[in-house]
Amino acid sequence: MDLAVDPRAVESLLAFWADAGVEASYADEPIDRLAEGAAMLRARREPAPPVAVAPIAAPAFGRGPDLDTVVTQAKALAGACNDLPALAAAIAAFDGCPLKTQGARQAVVSRGPVDAPLMIIGEAPGADEDAQGAPFVGKAGQLLDRMLKAAGLLDRAFVTNTVFWRPPGNRTPTPQEQAACAPFLERAIELVQPKMLLLVGGASAKSILSRDEGILSLRGRWFEWTSSDGRTELPALPTLHPAFLLRQPAAKKKAWIDMLMLSERLDRPHRPN
């Protein structure tokens, strides 16, 4: 029914609002509140237009020279070292790896006999290593030592890492940080002259072998490591990190198989060509 032509309906509606306490009108025209509500619901469901955001530049490697310059400096310093004490001193004085200025107490270089037939390369020092100045001395290192001892390798292993300073929060070292330290690690291999390498953990295996696979895929398989100048080749065996084994004890069997395989190849009689 059209209210504009029915005065009785208009009077009835006005009486209803008066009984409800409505005494004044705030607009000259009626407002459809239901339509307003429906429009608000539609606006909530529709995705907001994209907001243009200025790209954030990735942080540069450290605050000093670029990575290529850092690696060149590291190669020159490492090449000038004729023994492991000199190499350790050069590493401690090296400022090219940003980890040195991110809370580490000291450089953590190596432990073990300098003429060891086996070189073990881990990922990075942790809190215990940072405090004591030697690699693999915490709980993970103690497990590694027990495994090496059981396999007859404890006194035949030279132990080091891909980087020589503890990353903040024990995070995994970045490829750039590993690259900055790589010339020193390669020089250590040249000075020790091991027969083979044991790569402990995914970050170590992927960095040393330049592979992208995860450690569960790499472990238990033999690879050939080649020096940057191409003059040295060594068999390299990736294995699980003892810190992983502490979290996943069921995986110890796989690591033990790797250790036995390593021990067998290390003691295998040399066969002349």
pLDDT at 68 over 60: yes
Mean pLDDT in residue range 121-134: 97
What is the average pLDDT across 52-79? Answer: 71
Q: What is the pLDDT of residue 181?
A: 98
pLDDT of residue 206: 97
Quick one: average pLDDT of 20-43?
67
Q: What is the pLDDT of residue 35?
A: 76
Residue 90 has pLDDT above 90, yes or no: yes
Q: What confidence tier does 272 reach under pLDDT thresholds 50, 70, 90?
A: very low
Task: Give the Cα separation of 129 and 107 in Å (integer).
Answer: 9
Instruction: Locate 150 and state its tokens.
Output: 């059981």
Q: Give the pLDDT confidence of 141-183 residue by residue, as tens digits.
A: 999 999 999 999 999 999 999 999 999 999 999 999 999 999 9
pLDDT tops 90 at residue 79: yes
pLDDT confidence tier of residue 55, bands split at 50, 70 and 90:
very low
Under CATH, to which class is 67-266 assigned?
alpha beta
Q: Where are the domains of the chain?
A: 67-266
User: Which comes out higher in pLDDT, residue 271 or 214?
Assistant: 214
What does the pLDDT read at residue 9?
A: 72
Mean pLDDT rounded to a whole number for the chain: 87
